[in-house]
Amino acid sequence: MPSVVGSPRGARTGRERKTFDELFVELGGKWRERTPGSGTVAALDLGVHHLGKKLVEEAAETWMAAEHESRERAAEELSQLLYWSQLMMISLGLSLDDVYSHL
């Protein structure tokens, strides 16, 4: 099935694409290894308060993009919301299964 959003600005294509689960593995690895230069490690170091603010910010930006911009922009903001959700999970020591068990 074709993408519902076409080709969003900044979208990954082909082999570069990653799934939610693949991103979670990547981010967890960066955190465990404290990969130098990683924005993920820097954000996690700032703690739950910072992550919570970013989650709310990206949720608001998703809403605004959906209501006032385009589907492409909404997709971009949604991808960032997923990223920050994963950082909150990692910060709390939650696995994907811990979250999926509530779906």
Ligand X SMILES: N=c1c2ncn([C@@H]3O[C@H](COP(=O)(O)OP(=O)(O)OP(=O)(O)O)[C@@H](O)[C@H]3O)c2ncn1[C@@H]1O[C@H](COP(=O)(O)O)[C@@H](O)[C@H]1O
Task: Give residue number: closest CB to ligand X.
Answer: 40
Question: Considering the complex, what minimum distance in angstroms separates the CB of residue 98 from ligand X?
Answer: 20
93: left (phi over 0), alpha (psi -120 to 50) or beta: left
Q: Report d(CA 43, CA 56) in Å as an integer.
A: 15
- Where along the sequence are the contacts to ligand X (CB under 6 A)? 26-27, 30, 38-40, 61, 80, 83
Identify which of 97, 92, 82 has the alpha carbon closest to the alpha carbon of residue 20. 82
Shorter beta-carbon distance to ligand X: residue 70 or 80: 80
- Torsion region of 35: left, alpha or beta (phi above 0 gives left; psi -120 to 50 gives alpha): beta
**Which CB sits closer to ligand X, 46 or 101?**
46
Nearer of residues 27 and 75 to ligand X, judged by Cβ: 27
CA dist., res. 98 & res. 17, Å (int): 25
Nearer to ligand X, 53 or 101 (CB): 53
Q: How far is the CB of 5 from ligand X (least distance, A)?
A: 16
| Minimum distance from residue 81 beta carbon to ligand X (Å) | 9
